[in-house]
Amino acid sequence: MFKRVAVWFVFLLALGCGSAQAFTMVSVNANNVNMRSGPSDKYAVLWELGTGFPLKVLKKQGGWFKVEDFEGDVGWIYKTLVDREPHLIVKKRRVNMRSGPGDGYRIVGKANYGVVFKTLKVKGGWARVKHENGLIGWISRSLLWGW
C-alpha cells in the first residue's frame, strides 16, 4: 500500500511540475506585436516583437501577461498575441548550427545573437531547430534561451 501511494505521489509531483512549467513560457504568434509598459493598450510600447519570439510569463492580469525576454526586459503582452508553440532565441554573439546533436557534426549554418528558431526537439543538451527560411539543424542548448 505504501509503495502504491508513494508512486502516486511521485506521479502527481511530476505532473504538477510539468504543468507549472507548461504555463511559464509562451511565444509571440504574429509579427509587429507590441510589448507594453503596462497591462493595457493605453500604456507605452516598449518593444515590437516578431513571430516566435519566446517569452517567460511572470504574472497574469486579466487578458494580459507580464513577461520577461532573454535579455531580462520586462513588459506586458495581450494573451491572444502569444501561443504555446516552443521557440528558442540565440543568446550568444554567433553560434554554429550542426547536422547532428554534437560538436563532431558538420556545420550547416550559423546564427547571430537574437535569431529566433522554432524548437523541433531537445536531446542531450542540444536542440534541433528550424529557421523561418527552412534551414534545420542542431544548436547547443546552452547557447539558446526559451523552450
The predicted pLDDT at position 15 comes to 34
The predicted pLDDT at position 99 comes to 98
Angle at 143 between CA 98 and CA 54, to 5 degrees: 105
> What is the end-to-end Cα distance of the chain in Å, rounded?
38
> CA-CA distance, 8 to 25, in Å (whole number)?
27
pLDDT by residue for the chain (147 residues), tens only, comes to 434 433 333 333 333 333 344 459 999 999 999 999 999 999 999 999 999 999 999 999 999 999 999 999 999 999 999 999 999 999 999 999 999 999 999 999 999 999 999 999 999 999 999 999 999 999 999 999 999
| In a domain? residue 110 | yes
CATH number assigned to the domain comprising residue 41: 2.30.30.40
pTM (2 d.p.) = 0.83
The predicted pLDDT at position 49 comes to 98
| In a domain? residue 11 | no
Q: Which residues contact 67 (CB under 8 A, 6 or more apart)?
A: 26, 35, 55, 56, 57, 58, 74, 75, 76, 77
The predicted pLDDT at position 41 comes to 96
The residue segments making up the domain with residue 51 are 25-83
Phi, psi of 95 (to 5 degrees): -130, 155
Say whether both 73 and 31 belong to one domain.
yes
